[in-house]
Structure 1
């Protein structure tokens, strides 16, 4: 039995799901293939993902392949209640998600999705897999494998594997080129700034934007912020990534040095307390704090609450103002959760088309290959990544060269010299 906010929103949800589907041609082609081949026939899938229109089209694709799907939200603030209603009412999925639910409701929904007894799991942050391994060990015996969508989740899975705790194979879908390069760089880069602008209506040109982390997400943000006229400062702990940022012309500093300079701060690291209390104490009046890392721990919100003498909730949608004892005001967006999903609509559907195509094809591969895989973190087969890229290029009417027989021979021979 699903747990959603309002089933009467289904009609609006269908319209938005179909709108997203128009710019997801790769996933649509895979859905048609799945309907004919039924690679997931009879399998139960439990997913903990953002309940958005793009995710809805992934769910439809898994269903076309023969799977029954139970979906819980991976972030309460990103849940689109009309999408959840459409998935239940029109597409026959089980959904356990309500926008804005509290921590208790969040984990209750994960448990409800797991009650379906899944054969395969899809996770976005590793909370579902974590719950399986800690609280629902009775269900582990039926799980054949799963996919993880985020950097944060993959980090947690590798730690589980190192400690010998992981009980079934998990595939790091996050690490495919067609996911982390395009989803993180182009998707997060655009949607994060979209969320900040929607929440604050601030002009980014001329501002100093401090970006914590220079992985693919940080690179995408830095490129787009510079394109909008901002001065960009990057903070990093990785010397190679810091050097990359410097050689691309961005200022690179420790957060302690950047804190007094920034007008807007964006965290995209996957780690906790990246912006800590002593950083908050040094910030200028009116500084804006936003997070696009997975969990709401990158900005030390508890420290901010303790420092504040007043808190003005909802000064704008998804914007809370914290007044400090010296009169300075800091603005926290989306409660420190994912600003691109809470204050905007997440990645454009055209980007999620590739990420969810990876998910769908990997699920089909897992359904047949799981018996040959150890309980560890596995890479997506390269042919799946290449197939998604090929389909995406075809949908854009872009052709590329192919190797001749002589070129193939040259690349695979060591006997031919210069």
Structure 2
């Protein structure tokens, strides 16, 4: 009978075999089967990585320096355990050291009398064994716990370990990184200011010309970089918005710049404005967009709407999306063309409300893009009085996620009141039959929430 340590891996492989069946390749799988197969492979990979970390820790133990030439790695011609592991995996020595560190944190220990002790981080060890988190995510968590364990004490470390491991399951590595950064500030609030001072002391901007190009290398603290990042991201967002509304995106002169190119152009435009500006103010736009739609079409979701100044009609779903954002005035018409409802300023989220949404959501509630690349949208659209413009009916979404929400049948639920509320994203049955709510917004990363 297989060892219990191997059971999660074998179960994942069995699920993969059940889904794959007699198919010759993944192209023969249905979308549901494709997703199930992907999940099984992902869990199997995490289980394998957890086993690999355990093996790496044992190899490191058998190669410890006090064994001298009798060390496992040196017997096989390697100067260290990391070098031996890297040679067999084809990876880097840094990857091998990460495997060792995670394995050592999750492996059982022995005391001076040879008695077996629990792993240093038992919750992490259990999650690794079950294939719930990746080794890369575990490495971020271990690194944080090792940094703060002497400052905050064992009880806080145990609490942080449980919270981090529980939240990290199902997250991407980038999201785990955000989670760990929030956790460090929560665990060691007194350490935030010194880290900021250290970052500020390292700030620098170097400029040099090479191969006909000007090269800029900027490093600064987060606070000082925030206005730079916000200004550039606002320019990028405006550029992508113009692409969406372009009459012919396939035209020869259509904007096909990459994000990196647009960011470079943004810096140029901002600096050109700064040089030419004599009062420090940014020119304001007075443009207003008016969208006209028939009430019956608005209620049914069928038909089309028109935008003043444009010859091209838009779908009613697009009309709803546009009306949910700022700067759009919806005009609802009756069957005889009479105006039934003229959008008013109060339908738009105020600056104070948007700041409160930023406080609650932290950015796009679905994908995590920063606030500068999002708009405040109504969860229940503005038909008559059912979609009020308040925090419990608002959510920050980037343009892409706004389309996903509307087009694919996602629902959003707000629990709580005001900026302290939690956002839940509810997938359609085509993605999750159980429609299990997923945490959205800042709550995904806020340890203290």
Give the structure with higher Rg (CA).
2
TM-score (norm 1): 0.23
More helix by share: 2
Greater relative contact order (CA < 8 Å, ≥ 6 in sequence): 1
TM-score, normalised by the number of residues in structure 2: 0.22
